[in-house]
Amino acid sequence: MKHFLLSSFLLFTVISIAQTPCSGGSAGPYPCNGYDLQSAINLGTMSANAGNDSWGWTDPANGNEYALVGLDNGTAFINISNPTSPVYLGKLPTHTSSSTWRDIKVYNNHAFVVSEAGGHGMQVFDLTRLRTVTSPPVTFTEDAHFGGFGSAHNIVINEETGYAYPVGANDFNGGPIFINIQNPLNPVQEGGYGMDSYSHDAQIVTYCGPDPDYNGREILIGSNEDEVIIADITDKSNPVGISSITYPNTSYTHQGWFTEDQSFFILGDEIDELDNGFNTRNIVFDLTDLDNPSLSFEYTGPTEAIDHNGYTRGTKFYMANYRAGLRVIDITDIANGTMTEEGFFDSYPNNNNASFSGAWSVYPYFESGNIVISDINRGFLLVKSSSYENTPPTAVCGTTTISLDANGVGTLNPEDLDGGSTDNAGEVYFLACDKFFDCSDLGDVSVELEVYDDFGNRAFCTGTVTVVDEIAPSLSCPADEIVMFDAGENFYTLPDYVAAGDVTVTDNCSTGLTITQDLAAGTQLGAGNYFITFESTDASGNIGSCTFQLAVEVPLGVEENDLNSGLVLFPNPASDRITISSENTPITSLHVVDMLGKQLWMVENLEVQSMNIDVSQFSNGIYFVVVNNQVSKKIIKK
């Protein structure tokens, strides 16, 4: 949230609200569509004046689910294993002073908390302590503290790499600070990235999207007040900016999230509704090419409320929409520019005005389907889709074949590896990180296929991709050539065209290819037309070849030289007729032969200085005209 003073807060006097189904368009006092109220805990119960961000943790030891709710004066921990009877376990107080802004993320069973409170730094809390709380609520203490920076607006964690990235601090121009948290209780700073502007929020992923240039790299998508930036931060000592993009009617570039396949990024601009007077707007960027992002389309919601934090899971985008509460948007057809609201739960029933109150954030990633709403005014609410089911798909893998292209690369469409996966409640969708192949992958490759349903339930299987190279080497031959006998000999010795560099070969997958020559170098040729062929075979057995024609002629005697020196052919090349004239010796006969020496046309018993030859009936190609049975001249029909 941008820095705005909040309006006064409406505090509920009851401790909690139990399950209330969405019926007739409402769940108790809350307008709704398709989402039931499981329970709620108000701010008074948590001894706070305002709520802000939220996240979640599932205990790997027993599957218990916990909501982590940011408050103005600390972080609340709520056991939601019984979603209709949640237990407020207690609070980790702020490290310094109260603040409107607090953010929490989780890694390796630890919570990491930052705030814009002065000198707050990063708190570390061991979430496994929540297992043994017997007399709630408890005032918790932090297990570790990182004081390498003062305040920060937000924190991003890549759980795959074990790095935390506070953003919106005074360090690195408000860009991400690189903190190694692989040992959660001993955070170590490893630099940072000072981007061209303050970063309000970010998503950082180990990239598994459609751009092969960055597969497996650690990619940051930053929402930086007036632009979206993309950076490669894999090398902490040398982060590299990739690209940036802006969009029309920019007011405050706030926060966004990738779709499951990382092809699209759904952005929220926090102030555009206020500045421009239009309804809730999300901007969708096409990030299939990270070097060249583009604006795909804009989604407009049904109310004028301001959009805040949003997250994708499965085919749905879960958005905290301030006074319009939680909005759930179907993004199944996002590639075709379509997003459709399919349900909502309005945690601020008063109105849907464009104002900074109501739902600050949501957390939709619990396997149970329970969704946390952290509300500025009402604290904690837990809701769930009336139609939610958490049965994972049945993943069945098959086999497929990938043919490498002329550049020696191939890309798997994950759907092609499906062997009949199903889901009990709808469609299934497919992801694969290992989807780019090159010449080093020739043969059978095992690939893990991720299968998910509309609600984001997942299953995995392993299929086989057979990578093949079906492209033959490409050879370049010399041009057709006319040669004479070796000096003083009655033959012509065929040279080694390969050794001389007159023949070259390229291939998509092999280097150091050998070339064979047939007829072999050193062969002694008498007069006539010969075809010289070159072949090369790559590692996959593909054979490429090229051929050129060599015409070996008997050296001309005095009479032939006299005839040859006075011959003129024009035009050459020609499409219809060629004129041949002789300045020195009369023309007595003409024969036209093809490349194989086959006679196609002849005229004899002449005594002329000039003659026309009709070539219109010939196919395009190279021919030879033999004059007076003595001299051959190449002609080209085009």
Q: What is the pLDDT of residues 207-236, one digit of tens each?
A: 999 999 999 999 999 999 999 999 999 999
pLDDT at 557: 62
Tokens describing residue 171: 């360090």
Those residues with Cβ within 8 angstroms of residue 598's Cβ, 6 or more apart along the chain or in another chain: none
Tokens describing residue 430: 């497919």
Give CATH 2.130.10.10 domain extents, the chain. 33-385
Indicate if the pLDDT at residue 7 is higher than 60: no
Contact 167, 115 (CB under 8 A): no
Contact 284, 278 (CB under 8 A): no
Contact 311, 266 (CB under 8 A): no
Please provide the CATH number assigned to the domain covering 564-637: 2.60.40.3080
Under the banding of pLDDT at 50, 70 and 90, the label for residue 597 is confident
DSSP string, 532-588: EEEEEE-TT--EEEEEEEEEEEPPP-HHHHHHHHTEEEESSSBSSEEEEEESSS-B-
Q: Which CATH class is domain 474-553?
A: mainly beta
Give CATH 2.60.40.3080 domain extents, the chain. 564-637
Under the banding of pLDDT at 50, 70 and 90, the label for residue 593 is confident
pLDDT tens, position by position, 464-482: 999 999 999 999 999 999 8
pLDDT mean over 580-587: 90
pLDDT at 8: 35
Give first-to-last CA distance, the chain, whole Å: 73
pLDDT at 15: 46
pLDDT mean over 455-462: 97
pLDDT at 104: 98
Under the banding of pLDDT at 50, 70 and 90, the label for residue 1 is low
94, with CB counted inside 10 A (0-12, 13-18, 19+), is buried
Number of helices (H), then strands (E), belonging to the chain: the values are 2, 53
CATH 3.30.450 corresponds to the domain 399-468: no
pLDDT at 623: 87
Under the banding of pLDDT at 50, 70 and 90, the label for residue 556 is low
Provide the Cα torsion 168, 169, 173, 174; round to 10°: -10
pLDDT at 197: 81
Indicate if the pLDDT at residue 118 is higher than 90: yes
Tell me what percent of the residues of the chain surpass a pLDDT of 70.
96
Tokens describing residue 466: 């057979």
> Phi and psi dihedrals of 275, rounded to 5?
-70, -30
Q: Mean pLDDT for the chain?
A: 94
The β-bridge partners of 241 are 231
Give CATH 2.60.40.10 domain extents, the chain. 474-553
Under the banding of pLDDT at 50, 70 and 90, the label for residue 584 is confident
pLDDT mean over 485-505: 94
Indicate if the pLDDT at residue 572 is higher than 60: yes
Those residues with Cβ within 8 angstroms of residue 201's Cβ, 6 or more apart along the chain or in another chain: 153, 154, 156, 167, 168, 222, 223, 254, 255, 256, 309
pLDDT at 167: 97
Provide the Cα torsion 519, 520, 523, 529; round to 10°: 20
Q: Which CATH class is domain 33-385?
A: mainly beta
pLDDT at 13: 34
